[in-house]
A = this chain, B = another copy of it.
Amino acid sequence: MTTRLEQQLAFLNEADKLKSVTRGTLLCDASRRENSAEHSWHLTLYALVLADQAGPDVDITRVMKMLVLHDLVEIDAGDNPIFGDYDPADMKLQEEAAAERIFGILPNELRDDLRTTWEEFEANESASAQFAKSLDRFQPPMQNLQSGGGSWVEYNVTEAQFITKVGSKIKKGAPGLWHFAQKKVSAWFAANR
């Protein structure tokens, strides 16, 4: 019989695979692409450090929990770079199937707790989810500004595309961060595109 602790460990061992999922974003020093596990860590640190940018209804502990979990589905579904070519409906189906399998490794009540947290992040409706999602959109441009353009160069992105696909989502949950990012990103596009 599999014990509870064996189920918990099987899940944690499975999660190790997120360290091998590669993202479109480069590290700040442009030495290599970032992986989704270290990205998730960095975002959790963003939540701690930028908590003063969250609105009054945001629960930072819940934000951290969402950010730790948010990319686990990429173990099966892979990372879809935001400026890449993918079908959002198909991606959603793949991620739902991944959530079913991966969270399903856990004991039932833990499975339900973690899956509900991930679903809340995906729905992007609660104040905490919106702030978490804004951080997830805010970190890559901050890295791109350090690495010489990163995914903006690779995908030949225009400032208008950036504002539509990224800026609008940063603004929704963290208007102060959008105000900060917009000026810096705009200056980068003016100088480089």
Contacts and interface: CB of A to CB of B under 8 A. Distances in A.
Chain A binding surface SS class: helix
A37 to B, nearest CB: 4
A49 B146 contact: no
Contacts of A106: 49
Given A37-B38, A68-B41, A110-B49, A146 B13 contact: yes
Copies of this chain, complex-wide, total: 2
A19 B27 contact: yes
Interface stretch (A3-11, A81-89, A124-132, A185-193): A3-11
Contacts of A19: 27, 34, 38, 42
A132 to B, nearest CB: 14
A20 interface: yes
Interface of A: 5, 8-9, 11-13, 15-20, 27-29, 31, 34-35, 37-38, 40-42, 44-46, 48-50, 53, 61, 64-65, 68-69, 106, 110, 114, 139, 142-143, 146, 176-177, 180
26 contacts: A5-B53, A5-B177, A5-B180, A8-B49, A12-B46, A12-B50, A13-B28, A13-B146, A16-B28, A16-B29, A17-B28, A17-B29, A19-B34, A20-B27, A20-B31, A38-B41, A41-B41, A41-B44, A45-B68, A48-B65, A48-B68, A49-B110, A49-B114, A61-B61, A61-B64, A64-B64
